[in-house]
Structure 1
Amino acid sequence: MYLSRVEVDTNNRAKIKDLTHLGAYHNWVEQSFPDEIAANQRTRHLWRIDQLGGKKYLLVLSENQPDKERLEHYGVAGTAMVKSYDQFLDRIQTGQVFQFRLVANPTYAVTKAGETKHQIFPHVTVEQQRGWLMKKADKNGFAIVTNPAVDTDDGIFSPLAFDIVDRQYQILHRNKNKSGRQVKLSQVTFEGLLQVTDADVFRNALTHGIGREKAFGMGMMTVIPEG
């Protein structure tokens, strides 16, 4: 696996004029792997957009190395960085504590009586979105760290060590959308502390993503060791 990053050239409006929706970013990522396109063998690519220090970055996790020149198509020249992710993944152990950042699309499914197909709806409240992550944690080999109990006016409580740092709706134009309408996807950014409960399952979550809409900038979690 490879983890890549490039700074988006936000100061060059002519250069990035096409980046108006998630589908355009998806296409940028896909075009960064010309060997896969030529071989007609596409592998999974997780990606997201991060805002750090007043700059905007495209972050990509992939099985194969991207072409740096293609990766910088909408980026600042010379800012593309590609590094192997395998050694980091191999060192993950059950019980480790990490700081995490996850950009995701929290949703739930509803199946109407008498029907087999279900409809997908976004979680809209902070409480619902936090609950979604707690459920996903159990299935993805980690648990949210709990802070030491502290005294409050209402008694003693143990708050979970994570928060929602950004909530917004992103625009996506789906080519297969027969109506031709744009779609709005709920995008939520979580940050906090987690503890690995099953290293193998957790590695799978890091490399395969969490939740829906992974092709469109959702589901990618990154972690760094705490302390």
Structure 2
Amino acid sequence: MYLSRVEIASHNRAKIKDLTHLGAYHNWVEQSFPEEIQANQRRRHLWRIDQLAGKQYLLVLSEQQPARAELERYGVPGTAMTKSYDRLLDRIQTGQLYQFRLTANPTHTITAPGERQGRVFPHITIEQQRKWLIDRAEKSGFQLVKQQSAINPDDTPTWSFDIVGREWPMLHRKAGHGVRLSRVTFEGLLRVSDADTFKQTLTKGIGREKAFGMGLMTVIPEA
């Protein structure tokens, strides 16, 4: 596995004029793997957009290395980087603490009486979105950590994660037909409860709309 990053040329309007919706970003990611396209292979690549120090970055997780020139198509020249992700995966063990960042599409399904298939709706409130992640933690191989207040030790421990971004970016699935997706970014602290399952979570993603910039969780060891 490989983790790649490139700074998006956000201040070059002529260069990024095509990046008007999530489908365009999806196409950028797919075009970054020309060998897969030539071989008629459509592997799923997890990706997301990060904000850091006033700059935007495209982050991509993939089985193969992307073509640098294609990865920089809408990026700042010279900023594309690719590193092996296997070293991090190989070091993951049950019980380890990690700081995490996850951009996801929190949803729920409602099935009306008489309907065979339910309809998918986004979670709207912060409370609903937080509970969505809490409910998926254990089955995804990790536990969200609770911390005791150092000022008031008698207080009830609180979850050590926050929602740091809530957006409704546009996706055009068909020409002239657009829909806005709920994009929520979580940051916090977790403990690995099942190493094998957690590795699958990191490589396969969490939740829906993975092709459109949702589901990618990244971690760094807690110091």
TM-score, normalising length: structure 2: 0.97
- Tell me the residue number matched to 2:139: 139
Once the two structures are superposed, residues 109-150 of structure 1 have per-residue CA deviations (whole angstroms, 9 ceiling, x without a partner) of: 011112111100000001000000001101100000110255
Q: Does 1:194 align with 2:174?
A: no
Q: Are 1:150 and 1:157, in contact at CA under 8 Å, matched by a contact in 2?
A: no
- Tell me the residue number matched to 2:208: 212
- Tell me the residue number matched to 2:74: 74
AA paired with 1:67? A
AA paired with 1:157? T
Once the two structures are superposed, residues 199-225 of structure 1 have per-residue CA deviations (whole angstroms, 9 ceiling, x without a partner) of: 000000000000000000000000000
Q: Are 2:2 and 2:62, in contact at CA under 8 Å, matched by a contact in 1?
A: yes
Q: 1:150 to 1:114 in 2, by over 3 A?
A: farther
Q: Are 2:95 and 2:192, in contact at CA under 8 Å, matched by a contact in 1?
A: yes
Q: Are 1:46 and 1:62, in contact at CA under 8 Å, matched by a contact in 2?
A: yes
- Tell me the residue number matched to 2:160: 161
SS in 1 for 2:49: strand
- Tell me the residue number matched to 1:225: 221
Q: Distance in 2 between matches of 1:74 and 1:138?
A: 37
Q: Are 2:7 and 2:56, in contact at CA under 8 Å, matched by a contact in 1?
A: yes
Q: Does 1:90 align with 2:86?
A: no
AA paired with 2:219? V
AA paired with 1:214? K
Q: CA deviation at 1:181?
A: 2.0
Once the two structures are superposed, residues 176-218 of structure 1 have per-residue CA deviations (whole angstroms, 9 ceiling, x without a partner) of: x7xx421000000000000000000000000000000000000
SS in 1 for 2:177: coil
Q: Distance in 1 between matches of 2:52 and 2:158?
A: 27
Aligned residues: 223
- Tell me the residue number matched to 1:109: 109
Once the two structures are superposed, residues 130-177 of structure 1 have per-residue CA deviations (whole angstroms, 9 ceiling, x without a partner) of: 00000110110000011025565xx621001000011110100003x7
Q: Which aligned runs of 4 or more in structure 1 are off by greater than 3 angstroms?
A: 149-152
TM-score, normalising length: structure 1: 0.95
Q: Distance in 1 between matches of 2:155 and 2:67?
A: 53
Q: Distance in 1 between matches of 2:39 and 2:102?
A: 31
SS in 1 for 2:26: helix
Q: Are 2:148 and 2:155, in contact at CA under 8 Å, matched by a contact in 1?
A: no
- Tell me the residue number matched to 2:57: 57
Q: Distance in 1 between matches of 2:9 and 2:83?
A: 21
AA paired with 1:89? L
Q: CA deviation at 1:42?
A: 1.6
Once the two structures are superposed, residues 91-119 of structure 1 have per-residue CA deviations (whole angstroms, 9 ceiling, x without a partner) of: 10000000000000000001111211110
Cα root mean square deviation, aligned? 1.4
SS in 1 for 2:181: strand
